[in-house]
Amino acid sequence: GAPTMADAAADGAGKKKRVFMVMGWGQPPDGFYFNHLAAHLRDSGCAVQALPGANDGDVGKWVGELAAAVGEVDAGTYFIGQSVGNQVVLRYLGSLAEGARAGGFVAIAPWLNCDFTVSGDREGWWDGWFSDNADKLAPWCDESTQDFARVRSVCGNIACLMSDDDPVRGLDSSGEDNRRDWEGKVGARVAMQHGRGHFLHTELSAEELTVVDEALGLVAAE
């Protein structure tokens, strides 16, 4: 019969695809939609490990925790991040040796810098949260410590889920500058969603799951 998603999740050697999910700021590994997504990926034949989100500015510590979880990275290794979790993944990929290869990376509610507009039309939690955590966020926003060229060479398959009303979306209120950053610097494909905020939901939508599945090679891209 036709190959199933579980079949697609195993490479030629019969190994399961490994998916490492890194949560957003201070969140447990089962926060927001991570349980739902992890179950979906396991049903699709993937081995999934979720890690908690960073809650301080010790970039090396959090990148090191991901590196320890991954061990040896290969083309069957995939990553999914939420918010600051994407920063952990980016910096991990940028730390890998030349010639290393990862299978893919899905960045959900991603950002690259702290040049965020804080205004009254945003979700109310954002203003106070940002001011309370600005010092801890600063190291994550230092692009001089990113190696985008290495990220692009290690992982040529990066997809982003962004929302047009994400309060963490850069200076341009439409989020287009954040889109341009991820397309231009990271080499990502961006799927802009409508009205999904910072993706603090218990489930991803069917359309969003399709973006994930295509990036992980679980279904053929449209």
201 Rama class: left (phi>0) / alpha (psi -120 to 50) / beta: beta
SS3 content of the chain, % helix, strand, coil (to 5): 40, 15, 45
- Helix locations, the chain, DSSP H: 5-8, 34-43, 59-70, 84-95, 125-137, 148-154, 176-181, 206-215
pLDDT of residue 72: 97
CA atoms of 181 and 127, how far apart (whole Å) = 23
pLDDT of residue 203: 96
* Strand bridging mode 47-51 / 77-82: unpaired
The predicted model scores a pTM of 0.90
pLDDT in tens, the chain (222 residues): 444 455 545 544 568 999 999 999 999 999 999 999 999 999 999 999 999 999 999 999 999 999 999 999 999 999 999 999 999 999 999 999 999 999 999 999 999 876 555 544 445 566 677 777 878 988 998 999 999 999 999 999 999 999 988 877 665 556 678 899 999 999 999 999 999 988 999 999 999 999 999 999 998 776
Axis-axis angle for helices 206-215, 34-43 (nearest 10): 50
pLDDT of residue 171: 56
> What's the token pair of residue 154?
């290690």
Tell me if 96 sits within 8 A of 73, measured CB to CB. yes
CA atoms of 53 and 81, how far apart (whole Å) = 9
Closest by Cα among 11, 181, 36 to 107: 181
pLDDT of residue 3: 44
pLDDT of residue 129: 73
pLDDT of residue 172: 59
> What's the token pair of residue 136?
């801890």
> What's the token pair of residue 19?
């998916």
22 φ/ψ angles, rounded to the nearest 5 degrees? -120, 120
Identify the sign of the CA torsion 183, 186, 187, 189: negative
Tell me if 17 sits within 8 A of 184, measured CB to CB. no
21 Rama class: left (phi>0) / alpha (psi -120 to 50) / beta: beta
